[in-house]
């Protein structure tokens, strides 16, 4: 059995949990720095030499400090860095050389021009996989359960779903269950039975960008067997579901309303796409599939410090920082 070591944050992290659960599902022996994110075997590591017994070592933007504190000669042939942060800036490990760097919010420009970085989306955790129920047995035509504090467009969508409720009435669920899976304080996700029940009983469910474009809800909806209505993503995620075949993407409020009206009145077509979407996602976007994608990517690894890639990353990060500062100045002087 191959073994893998994860440097883990003590609290639940969607990206870390995706890879740990995936590694366990793939038959790896998993040890970690913390009993969190589905890791149950803990082994403290203080020196690089202690990592030699492991085939792979994974760390990320939230555990950089833990790796930087290691003593001894830095490096490991199976070292993997995963930047699962919400921003499109790319965190580069300052003093270590990973075999491969993965980035959740990876822009298509960087993905096309940097050989050393691969996109990596969230995966469907097993807790969100539900048996497919025929649409005729579901209570809700549509559900929209979006947190409203992460993206202004979510408020626009909520108002749009309110508009649909005027036509379809109680068959639309638009609101919150009051549950929070990710508290920022617990090593494991919190149970959300009301949320899961509503998903299982929804024909269509809505996802929208949050702090980042890739969200857990996007994949949870697919895992539950709903027809996914999602704001189109522009980042480089492997095996992204196809529009019209596995899910429905929208680009604006008007686009959302038009497609909602169509599929709410063509449920047979909606159910066909939902079935195909769930089947595709459970094959290509399960936590096991995400981890196996990481393993396949290692076969064509190019080390991160490649000069061309470092320049592109530096200029990319600089551009994003400039845009943020310009936006803050515009907001300040526009008041």
Q: What is the pLDDT of residues 102-154, one digit of tens each?
A: 999 999 988 888 877 899 999 999 999 999 999 999 999 999 999 998 899 99
Last residue of a domain, one of 285, 304, 321: 285
pLDDT at 298: 82
68 found inside a domain:
yes
Q: How far apart are CA 250 and CA 154, in angstroms?
A: 13
Domain that holds residue 301: 3-123+289-330
Walk along the chain (335 residues) and give the pLDDT tens digit of each residue: 699 999 999 999 999 999 999 999 999 999 999 999 999 999 999 999 999 999 999 999 999 899 989 999 988 988 999 999 999 988 877 777 787 889 999 999 888 888 778 999 999 999 999 999 999 999 999 999 999 988 999 999 999 999 999 999 889 999 999 998 888 889 999 999 999 999 999 999 999 999 999 999 999 999 999 999 999 999 999 999 999 999 999 999 999 999 999 999 999 999 999 999 999 999 999 999 999 999 988 875 444 446 567 667 767 777 777 777 766 666 555 55
The number of folded domains in the chain is 2
- C-beta separation of 292 from 26 below 8 A: yes
CATH number of domain containing 196: 3.40.50.2000
Question: Do 68 and 197 fall into the same domain?
Answer: no
Average pLDDT for the chain: 90
> What is the residue-wise DSSP string for 57-106?
EEEETTSHHHHHT-BSS---TTEEEEE--SSSS----SS---SEEEETT-
Output the six-digit token pair for 201. Answer: 């009983």
Q: How far apart are CA 154 and CA 281, in angstroms?
A: 24
Question: Do 222 and 110 fall into the same domain?
Answer: no
Question: Do 148 and 109 fall into the same domain?
Answer: no
pLDDT at 329: 63
173 found inside a domain:
yes
Question: Do 264 and 297 fall into the same domain?
Answer: no
Question: Do 134 and 219 fall into the same domain?
Answer: yes
Question: Do 160 and 277 fall into the same domain?
Answer: yes
Q: Which residues sit opposite 235 in a β-bridge?
A: 107
Question: Do 116 and 260 fall into the same domain?
Answer: no
Question: Do 131 and 173 fall into the same domain?
Answer: yes
Question: Do 133 and 281 fall into the same domain?
Answer: yes
Query: Which one, of 163, 172, 166, 176, lies nearest residue 254 by Cα?
Result: 163
224 found inside a domain:
yes
Question: Do 182 and 85 fall into the same domain?
Answer: no
Question: Do 165 and 236 fall into the same domain?
Answer: yes
pTM of the prediction? 0.90
Output the six-digit token pair for 40. Answer: 């149950």
pLDDT at 96: 74
- C-beta separation of 210 from 147 below 8 A: yes
8 found inside a domain:
yes
pLDDT at 305: 47
335 found inside a domain:
no
Vertex 19: Cα angle to 18 and 25 (nearest 5)? 95
Q: Which residues of 129-167 are buried (b: 16+ CB within 10 A; e: fewer)?
A: bbeeeebeebebbbbbbbeeeebeebeebbebbeebbee
Question: Do 82 and 199 fall into the same domain?
Answer: no
């Amino acid at each position: 059995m191959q073994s893998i070591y994860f440097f883990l944050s003590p609290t639940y992290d969607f990206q870390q949990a995706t890879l740990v659960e995936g590694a366990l599902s793939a038959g790896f022996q998993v040890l970690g720095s913390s009993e969190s994110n589905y890791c149950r075997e803990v082994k403290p590591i203080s020196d690089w030499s202690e990592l030699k017994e492991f085939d792979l070592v994974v760390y990320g933007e939230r555990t950089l400090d833990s790796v930087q504190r290691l003593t001894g000669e830095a490096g490991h042939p199976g070292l993997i860095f995963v930047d699962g942060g919400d921003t499109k800036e790319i965190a580069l490990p300052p003093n270590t050389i990973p075999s491969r760097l993965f980035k959740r919010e990876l822009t298509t420009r960087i993905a096309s021009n940097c050989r050393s970085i691969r996109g990596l989306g969230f995966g469907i955790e097993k807790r969100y996989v539900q048996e497919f129920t025929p649409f005729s047995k579901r209570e809700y035509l549509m559900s929209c359960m979006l947190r409203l504090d992460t993206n202004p467009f979510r408020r626009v969508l909520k108002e749009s779903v309110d508009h649909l409720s005027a036509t379809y009435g109680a068959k639309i669920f638009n609101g919150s269950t009051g549950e929070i899976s990710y508290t920022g304080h617990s090593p494991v996700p919190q149970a959300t039975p009301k949320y899961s029940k509503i998903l299982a009983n929804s024909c269509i469910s809505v996802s929208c960008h949050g702090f980042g474009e890739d969200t857990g809800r996007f994949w949870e909806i697919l895992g539950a067997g709903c027809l996914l209505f999602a704001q189109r993503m522009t980042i480089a995620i492997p095996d992204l579901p196809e529009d019209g075949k596995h899910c429905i993407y929208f680009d604006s409020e008007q686009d959302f309303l038009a497609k909602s009206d169509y599929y709410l009145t063509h449920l047979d077509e909606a159910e066909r796409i939902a079935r195909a979407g769930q089947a595709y996602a459970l094959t290509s976007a399960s936590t096991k599939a995400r981890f196996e994608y990481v393993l396949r990517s290692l076969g064509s690894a190019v080390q991160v410090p490649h000069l061309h890639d470092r320049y592109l990353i530096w200029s990319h990060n600089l551009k994003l920082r400039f845009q943020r500062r310009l936006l803050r100045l515009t907001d300040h002087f526009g008041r």
